[in-house]
């Protein structure tokens, strides 16, 4: 998970940002030498920094535009579990016989247990500028690939990637405030105290009477019912 700066948060609120998926396939040629393939799901080329552990440096690398030809499943982004379910990347296979095409190069290279990295990067849709750090990043290994041929449909490669880290999701693109929540649910006070509660400790397993700012109907175990939490600004403590 990567934090958002104020400018990016403002652009998201204004609807000027959309996600772009950058995909690295660390495949090899017939001699076992690296022949990494990189693409993204937008038109044209993209330039974005590599990482020292996978790319040997943080120098910029180039991603080939495969707009409409590669899909990272939306269900992956929405996952809230840490299970190691596979992620399946769908790649257009209609030009697999063309050695000059991305799909053709992928068809000819050694993919067995090759590393995979997927980074979702926020892109300003007016300027095309990519944010310096990804919104999230997932890594895994190619488990297998299937060429799917159906009558009347374009052929595709289903690239199955194993790796639990693919299930660790990044933050939502929008944060909540008390004022923001009132537009969704007028009268909901859940977020009212969040602005003054940053860095306050969570008082787990303590009786309500021993927690500063808590008003209860009496002693006993800490329950969600039967007490109200009065948030206080304790910066001066």
Report whether pLDDT(49) > 50: yes
Residues 151 and 211 in one domain: no
Q: How confident is residue 116, by pLDDT bands cut at 50, 70 and 90?
A: very high
Residue pair 132/124 in contact (Cβ under 8 Å)? The answer is no
The tens digit of pLDDT for each residue in 191-226 reads 777 777 777 766 665 665 555 555 555 544 434 333
In the three-class reduction of DSSP (H, G, I as helix; E, B as strand; rest coil), residue 55 is classed as helix
pLDDT in tens, 139-155: 889 988 999 998 888 89
pLDDT for res 174: 55
**Whether residue 213 is found in the same domain as residue 130:** no
- pLDDT in the model for residue 147: 93
Q: Backbone dihedral region of 161: left (phi > 0), alpha (psi from -120 to 50 degrees) or beta?
A: beta
| Same domain membership, residue 105 and residue 11 | yes
Pick the more confident residue, 202 or 9.
9
pLDDT tens by residue, 150-186: 888 889 999 998 875 444 444 444 567 788 778 778 8
Say how many domains are in the chain: 2
Quote the pLDDT of residue 3.
61
Same domain, 21 and 86: yes
| Domain boundary residue, one of 119, 142, 167 | 167
Decide: pTM greater than 0.85: no
Domain that holds residue 212: 178-229
* pLDDT of res. 1: 47
Is it the case that residue 79 has pLDDT exceeding 60?
no
Do 106 and 205 lie in one domain? The reply is no
- Do the Cβ atoms of 144 and 125 come closer than 8 Å? no
What pLDDT is recorded for position 210?
59
Other CB atoms within 10 A of residue 63 CB: 24
């Amino acid at each position: 998970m990567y934090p958002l700066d104020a400018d990016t948060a403002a652009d998201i609120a204004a609807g000027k940002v959309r996600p772009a998926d950058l995909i690295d396939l660390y495949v090899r040629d017939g001699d076992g030498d690296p022949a990494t393939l990189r693409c993204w799901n937008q038109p044209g080329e993209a330039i974005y920094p590599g990482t020292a552990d996978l790319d040997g440096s943080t120098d910029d690398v180039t991603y080939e535009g495969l707009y409409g030809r590669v899909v990272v499943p939306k269900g992956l982004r929405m996952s809230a579990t840490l299970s190691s379910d596979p992620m399946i990347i769908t790649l257009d296979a209609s030009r697999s016989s063309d050695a000059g095409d991305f799909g053709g190069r992928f068809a000819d290279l050694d993919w067995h247990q090759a590393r995979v990295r997927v980074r979702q990067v926020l892109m300003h849709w007016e300027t095309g500028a990519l944010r310096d750090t990804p919104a999230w990043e997932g890594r895994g290994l190619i488990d297998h690939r299937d060429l799917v041929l159906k009558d009347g449909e374009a052929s595709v490669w289903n690239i199955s990637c194993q790796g639990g880290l693919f299930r660790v999701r990044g933050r939502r693109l929008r944060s909540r405030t008390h004022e923001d929540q009132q537009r969704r649910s007028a009268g909901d006070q859940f977020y009212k105290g969040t602005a003054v509660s940053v860095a306050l400790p969570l008082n787990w397993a303590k009786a309500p009477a021993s927690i500063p700012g808590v008003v209860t109907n009496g002693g006993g175990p800490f329950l969600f019912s039967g007490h109200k939490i009065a948030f206080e600004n304790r910066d001066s403590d």
